[in-house]
Every structure is written in structure tokens, then in C-alpha cells.
Amino acid sequence: MALEQADNKPKPMAEHDVKRSIDAILTGIRVPELPYPVGKVAPETQPDWRPLLLSCWTEQRDESVTHLLKSVSLTWTVTQVNAAYIADRIMDVFLRTSGLHPVLVQRVARLRFLLAWRMGEHGASAFEDCIRDWLDSLSHCRGWSDSGGRSSRALLDQLDAMVIAVRESFESSSLAPFQAFTVDWHREGETRQSRASQLHERLVATEQGAARQRKAEQSARALVGRALKGRRLPLPVIRFILDAWLPLLKEIAFKSGNASEDWRHTSKLLEWLVWAGDPALSDRDRDRLYQVGEQLSDKIMDVWLRIQGKAMAPEVLQGIQSVLVARLRGETPELEAAISPDRPFEFDSRWLTTQDPAPQRIGQLRGHWFVEGEGKNEQRRYFLDLLLDSNEVLWTNGFGVKLGLMPWPEVDLAFREDRLRLLPEQNQFGSVLLDTVQALARVLLSQRRQREKAAAEAKARADALRIAKEAADLKLQQEAAARAQEQERQQAQAEARRLEDEEATRQRLARARLAEAETLVANIKLGGWIAVENTQALPQSNADGTDKGPQRLKLAVRMNSSGKLIFVDRLGLNRTEYLADQLAQAVAKGEVRVLNQAAEFDDTLSRVVGRIRVGKS
């Protein structure tokens, strides 16, 4: 499972991929609730935000750039809004994981205005080496605390100089002033680091000697204090112990240590000296008192001679000898409290029972930063070393300045009570930039896929709507064509019916006219006249082919057997023959009129036609 997770973890981006991704994120990503413009902003209407960012930097405002953009009623470009978001996100993540003191975090966080401006103007080129290198160099300041000391004020002065440099960069639209500041910063940092190494070496050597001296002092005082505590002794004994024996114990502890034979022997003589001088202890065993009293002075002188290399002055031991003689005689000399308000004696018995911590544990702590307190009141200290002689931790500010000493038991207790915490390693700005860009690139890719999916779905819906519309239009067209065809069919049927009706009417009229004409022809009597309207319609060829107008003819002969009618003109010439049917058709057509019955024929024909029309309607 771990291997699968490792395989699924995104691989680090190359430098050119980071720049390309930043440029894509600046123009492509969309973050909810940010003041993006509606549509594309024309170049001539793009707002200049440099004066606004400069004013925020000059005032050293603790405000996010995105909040600033929201508070101003201007139409910002997509690049400006995304540059503000990226600057805020990168600086927030970096400062949250940097391990810097909150005071420094507050000061450095305002660089978001510079980053936003540079990204809005130059895209990924905003993260030039000078900006990235300077932010990464802040790892040397992770142990800084707002202690008010000289080193603390020196860093704050440098940050004040940075404020001026960034303001000049805004005003000149160039990063050159800030770049000059970073050059000075790195040069001073290198000098400080090299000097810090030397100071640390000197400090450790000095403190180790002082620790050895301090251990000798405190161990001797602890041994004497433990022996004198609650005892009432003759004044000569008290003075001897404090004035002669205590310095001897200090010298032995310094030269040989607390585990040496001289220390053990001298400590034992101190106990016998107190025992012999305190009647409350020695009066219980007089025999032993005689033995101790006879040998004590000689043993004291032997130890003194061995340690000091010369005999003890007689006057130093004179008071002890007089007390011992008095005690051997059974006398009780005048007693005084060995430790009293009039004769205070401060000591710490823990110096006699110190336990060295495990070397492995000290190795894990040495050279690391620790923090005590919370928020702006937190104090940071550098675990330089453990002074083995005194079992004390040497704290510094990381640059060779001693912050103090702390007994190891107190340090261990502070660790266990979580009052003293290990300061996490700083997350480099370059790593934060890479992680942030990778995360935003994944968001951008997801948004692009969502947009492509939405566009594809919209296109599919549009295509479906188009196809549906085309199908509906086609159906409407087909229905319209069908209706047109049906209408044409109906119109054709109506027209055909009309023509049929007209033809039927015409035929009925023709039959009526023919019938009436037949009646007229049948009623023509011999000597009756007809008028041929069109001589071309004469059945004989005696017509001369010219149209001379109506020709009047008179019925001369009717042959009932053959139905032939013979007409002649007024002179009895130009004989013209008609068959009865032929003449009836000519009369019906209007080519021939029966003169004596023409008016009657017209009236009759009108009545017939009228009846036919009325019947049709």
C-alpha cells in the first residue's frame, strides 16, 4: 500500500514546468467568491493596481491582497485576481510552515503585495532568484526572538531597510532596489554565520571552564551545607570548616572531581569533625570520641599536606585542637547554630546527586532550536551544548550570544510538561512554491476537464436540440407538403368536378340547344327563311370562299324520307342542301338562324339555359 501511495504521489515539476504552470494558472484558474470580471477586460480599461499595492505596503497593512481587491469597486482582470490569490496562498502556507517567530511572520507576510504586483505584470518571472533566495535565507532567522536585545533589534532594522527597498521598487517599477537590499542581506548573513561559529566555539570553551569551577564551588558548598545543616557546633569548628576546609573541598572538586579518593577522604574527615564537635552526636559514644579526637588533627594535617603540598599553618588548626582537648576532657564548649540568619549559608544538595543524561539523548537535542511560550511572547533558544561538569544546558541565540544556563533536570521537566518544544524544521519557500503550483495545477486541470465536459455536454445538448429542431422542421415541412399535396389534390378534384360540371352543363346546354334547334328545324315550313351567319359553314361548295355576311335562304324542298332540306336564295338560285340533323346542329351553334322563329328560339333557349342553371345550383 505504501508503495502504491508513493507511486501515486505527483512527481516534482521541473523549473520550466513550474513557470509554464504559473502562467497557465494566472489566466485559467477560477476560485469561488473572487471578484473576477464579467467578460474580457479591454487593455485600455485595465486598472493600474500598483499605486494601491504601494499604499498598502507603505502603511504596512496586514491584509490579504484578495480582500483588498474585493474592497475596491474596480473591474480587475483575471490575471490580477489570480495573482492576488496565488500571492496570498503561497505566503500564507510558507509563513504557516516556516517556523519563524510570529513578529517576523507578520513583517514578511506583507511581501504578498510585491509578489502580487510582480505576477500581475510579469507572470511566472515574478519569482526571480533574488525574491526566492531571500525568502529561503530566512531559515537563518528561525531562532530569532523579540527579546529587545541588540541582535533582535539588528534584524528588525534590516527589515525596516527592506520596507524602504520594496517601496522604491514599487515607485520605480523595477526590482533593482530590492535586489540591492538582498545582496547586502546575504553578505551580512554570511559574515554573521562565520562569526557565529567562532563565537560558539569560544563560548563552549569558556562555559565548560566556568561549569567546572561552578561544579566545584557548588559541590563543596552542598557537602558542607549538608554536614552543617541543623547542627550546633563550637565557633572554632564552624570557622575552620568555612574558612579552611570549604576552600580545600573546592580545590579537590576542581582538580580531581567528586569521584576521587581525595574527595572521599576529605568528605569523611568533614563528617568526623562535625561529629566530634557536636555533643549531641559524640557524647553517646565516649570511647569512639577518644579515638577520633586523638587521630583527627593528624589526619587533617596529612590531607592538607597532600593536597596543598605544604603543611597547614599552626594557627589555622589551633581552634580545632582546643575544642578536641575540651571534648576529650568531657567539657562542653559553648555551641552556636552552624547555619543561622546571622550566619547564612546557601547551598543546593542536588549538586551531590546529579545524574548525567544519556549521551544519545543529548546528541538528538544538540544543535536544534527550541521554543518556549506562545504567540508573540514566545522565546526561542538554541541548544548549543550540555556542560557535563555542571549538567547544565547552554542556550544561545544561534549567533554566539549566550542566553543562559538551565540545569538538565529543569530542561527535562520542561520537555515533559511541553513548556519547551522542539522547533520544527523550516519549510523552504522554493518547496512551498513547488507544492502550491502543483496543487493549483491539479485544480486547473480538473477545472479544464470540467469545462471541456460541460462544453461537450452543452454541444451534445445543442446538437440534440438542433437535430430535434431539424426533425421537427422536417416533419413540419413534410406535413406542410402533405397538406399542400392534399390541398392540390382537393383543388384538382374540385377543378375536375367543376370542369365535369361545366362540361355536363355545356353538354346539357348543347343538348338543349340541339333539341330546341331540332324543334325549330322541324317547324320550318316551306318558304321559311334561314340566315347563314358564316357562309364558310355552308355544306355545298357553291360558296365562293369569301365572307359576304349573313346569307338568307328559303326552304324550297323538305324530303321527310331522307331528312334533307333544300334551300335557295331569293332568286331561287344557289341551291343549298342540309340534312335535318346537320341544320339543327348549325342552328344550335348559332351558325344558322331560323328567321321567322329566331326571337322565339332565343327566348326558348334563354328559358332552357335558366332552368339548367337553376337546377345546377
* pLDDT tens-digit map of 336-378: 888 888 888 898 888 887 777 888 888 888 888 888 888 777 7
Which pLDDT score, from 0 to 100, does residue 543 have?
47
The pLDDT tens digits of the residues spanning 482-519 come to: 888 888 888 888 888 888 888 877 778 778 878 888 88
pLDDT-based confidence at residue 535 (cuts at 50, 70, 90)? low
CA 358 centroid distance within chain: 46
Least confident of 234-248, 344-358, 437-451, 467-481: 344-358
Percent of the chain predicted with pLDDT > 70: 91
| Cα-trace Rg, the chain | 67
- The full set of domain ranges for the chain reads 12-197+434-444, 230-338, 445-616
Give the mean pLDDT of 18-36: 86
**Range name among 126-135, 153-162, 442-451 with the lowest pLDDT average:** 126-135
Angle between helices 429-523 and 129-137 (to 10 degrees): 130
Supply the angle between the helices 150-172 and 112-122 in degrees, to the nearest 10: 30
pLDDT band at 538 (very low <50, low <70, confident <90, very high): low
pLDDT over 70 at 613, yes or no: no
Q: Where are the alpha helices (DSSP H) in 175-234?
A: 176-228
pLDDT of residue 2: 33
Reported as a single tens digit per residue, the pLDDT across 7-23 is 344 455 566 677 888 88
Q: Tell me which amino acid residue 254 is.
A: F
Q: What is the pLDDT of residue 608?
A: 61
Q: Is the predicted pLDDT of residue 38 greater than 50, yes or no?
A: yes
Whose CA is closest to 221, among 203, 204, 242? Answer: 242
DSSP code of residue 524:
P
The predicted-structure confidence for 283-302, as pLDDT tens digits, reads as follows 888 888 888 888 888 888 88
- Identify the DSSP state of 309: S
* Burial category of 291 from C-beta neighbours within 10 Å (exposed 0-12, middle 13-18, buried 19 and up): exposed
Residue 91: Cβ-neighbour burial (10 angstroms; 0-12, 13-18, 19+): buried
pLDDT at 6: 34
Q: What's the mean pLDDT when you consider all of the chain? A: 83
Which own/partner pairs from 196-201 qualify as long-range (CB within 8 Å, at least 24 positions apart)? 196/398, 196/399, 196/400, 197/400, 198/400, 199/399, 199/400, 199/401, 200/384, 200/396, 200/400
In the prediction, which pLDDT does 604 show? 59
Note every long-range contact of 513-518, with CB atoms under 8 Å and residues 24 or more positions apart, other chains counting: 513/588, 513/605, 513/608, 514/584, 514/585, 514/588, 516/588, 516/601, 516/604, 516/605, 516/608, 517/583, 517/584, 517/585, 517/586, 517/587, 517/588, 517/601, 518/580, 518/581, 518/584
Rounded average pLDDT over 113-123 = 88
Give the side-chain half-sphere CA count within 13 A for 527. Answer: 0
Q: Quote the pLDDT of residue 153.
A: 86
In this prediction, residue 165 has a pLDDT band, given cuts at 50, 70 and 90, of very high
pTM of the predicted model as reported, rounded to 2 decimal places: 0.60
